[in-house]
Amino acid sequence: MSEAELPATPASAASNAGSNSRLLDLAATVRRRVEQYLAQRDQSWVLILSILVGLIMGAVAAIFRYLIILSHHFFHESLLFSSEGHETTSPATTVLRALLPAFGGLVVGFFIYRVLKLQGGHGVPSVMKAVATGNTTLSPSMTIKSSSSIVTMTSGGSAGPEGPIIEIGSVVGSLVGQAGRVARDRVATLIGCGAASGIAAVFNAPIGGVFLALELIMRDFAIRTFAPVVIAAVTASVTTQALLPNHPVLLPVPASVMAQIQPSFPQSFAFAILGILCGLIGAFFVRFLYRTHDFFSTLRLPMWSKPAIGGLVVGLVGVFFPGVIGEGYMFVNTDILGPAAGGEQIDWTIQLAFLFLVAGAIKIFVTSMTLGSGGTGGSFAPAMVLGASLGAGFGVLCQLAFPGSMPHPAIFALVGMAGCVASSLGLPIAGILIIYEVTGAPYRLVLPLMLCVAASSLVATALRTGSVYTLSLLRDGFDVDEAVRRREDPLTHIHVGDIMRRDVTTLRPDDNIARVLSALTATLEDDFAVVTSTGDLVGIISTRDLRGVITMGDLGSAIIAADAADTNPKVLYPDSLATEALAIFSSSDVSGIPIVASRTSRKLVGILGRYDVLKAYRSSAGE
């Protein structure tokens, strides 16, 4: 038997076991040291993770966009067009165009609601709620539902990829944050990085993506949050452009057309009027979408079948108005921005303005049918197409009313996009920046965008509460803004009556010092309330006050509770906020605050100590 074949001796086996144990200990030590190093440099580690999120989302967005282009080419161009590129008008093609959205709705509905048994509703509000409440562990199943929106869009459903890509990015940010073992609030930052990366990659608009994430998801503009989100958005945008170049969402408007924008009163007035119209239409869009959702909720049909019904309605409409189904960007590029980009001379007529306005109304209807019936997809693209149609129609009317003094209707279309995004989605800053970046417009477009968005936001806010994203949460009794305020300062929402101690050791005004000292030794409380026989507050004695009495020796034996008490203490009431108590504790050295029944009654109902406030803060903040 060779030396290599000799069996291991007990001594050598023990030696090997010891070596393995030392290696495991060394690996554990290295891992612990690395985690400690990263914990000490939390911001640097989050920045590294934000780059990773940006890389992942840049690749995901490129794949997402490519699949939409590929499947749209197959379903629409290959099936509905002849080999010469002309649209076929055969009965079979017409039936196919009508049934294709229904088929897409059936596939999505059956897979999502029957096979996977996922819940309906928008995914973006779920992300908003999770971040607002600090519950930053997002389910990976959200990505499956979001990805199914590809089927909805390519089959003709009126939806966009922006909402789904925000959801996917948020999940990626959550998973990366958990894998990187960062604090919970830093996971929320990485969720924002994912949302910003998705929008930046889809639109090639990193600035708009950043502010959408800060405005919609995080509602936090602190520098500590801002830097990682910016890095992630830029990384995602560069990655997508490297993988899928030359696929702009909107056609660029020539500089010669942009030069028609003048800082004149008539043009400014026209853009402000357009903003008012966008506010009205945006509020109507939100209301109609949720009314449609309510209608489908009342139908006694399986949930998985409802998207097919909505798709069938969309398909029937698409037979007559094929341009406004799907994302709708093709309609905007071909019929609104295309003539401006090609320098075509258009005969501005009332009929043309009417067609643009009708296209906007149809977009509201088909989007509500698609999403309200349970189809998956985002409402960002429909809001942009709605704004473009409204803006173009209004621009044509302005050309007819004031020929030569108004810019091209394509300019009004771009401005209307921002106005409807602001009014229906509640994204005024992101709406301005995304349109500005996507169009590559000169700075002269900024003023019209700001005027329109400001007017539309004011009108929409006055007409309704909530946007497409927040109204579903408000219906469920959850206010995102309120939740964010609670997280920022939990004490502003805590009433003293909910955290005070009701079991209080009380003394009578004529109790002698022996009785007072007996109460002191019988309890761990630091404060004793002196009350009358009817329970009205006379004053409060703290252990600090008793030290002075004890040092008086025999002279102190003549002192009664009323003498030792502070007869003019600061008091609070059960409906007082905990912030008022914190202000008292911060400005004085009192250890307890007596709580009386009301502002007209001195009846004692409890005492609030410093620890009670601290405990309430920790509990409300989730520590």
Neighbours of 358 (CB within 10 A): 14
Residue 84's pLDDT is what? 46
d(CA 10, CA 16) in angstroms, rounded, equals: 10
Mean pLDDT of 580-595: 84
Q: Using CA atoms of 365, 369, 371, 373 in order, give the dihedral in degrees to the nearest 10.
A: 160
Q: Are 602 and 590 in contact (CB under 8 A)?
A: no
Residue 2's pLDDT is what? 45
For residue 452, give every residue at least 6 positions away whose Cβ sits within 8 Å of its Cβ, in sequence order, or none. Answer: 271, 272, 274, 275, 278, 415, 416, 418, 419
Burial of 250 (0-12, 13-18, 19+ CB in 10 A): buried
pLDDT in tens, 19-59: 666 777 777 777 666 656 555 567 788 899 999 999 999 99
Domains of the chain as residue ranges with CATH:
39-243 (1.10.3080.10), 255-477 (1.10.3080.10), 491-621 (3.10.580.10)
In this structure, are strands 537-542 and 527-531 parallel, antiparallel, or unpaired? antiparallel
The answer to whether the Cα torsion of 294, 298, 303, 305 is positive or negative is: negative
pLDDT in tens, 498-517: 889 888 878 888 887 777 77
Helix axes 380-401, 409-425, angle to 10 degrees: 140
- Which pair of tokens denotes residue 276? 């008012």
Using DSSP, state whether 253 is helix, strand or coil: coil
Q: Are 505 and 540 in contact (CB under 8 A)?
A: no
| pLDDT over threshold 90, residue 544 | no
Count, residues in the chain? 623
Say which residue the tokens 């489908």 belong to: 296
**pTM for the structure as a whole:** 0.77
Helix (H) or strand (E) segment spanning residue 528: strand 527-531
pLDDT band at 13 (very low <50, low <70, confident <90, very high): low
In this structure, are strands 601-609 and 506-507 parallel, antiparallel, or unpaired? unpaired
Mean pLDDT of the chain: 83
CA atoms within 13 A on the CB side of 399: 21
pLDDT in tens, 332-380: 988 898 888 777 777 788 999 999 999 999 999 999 999 999 888 889 9
Mean pLDDT of 155-166: 87
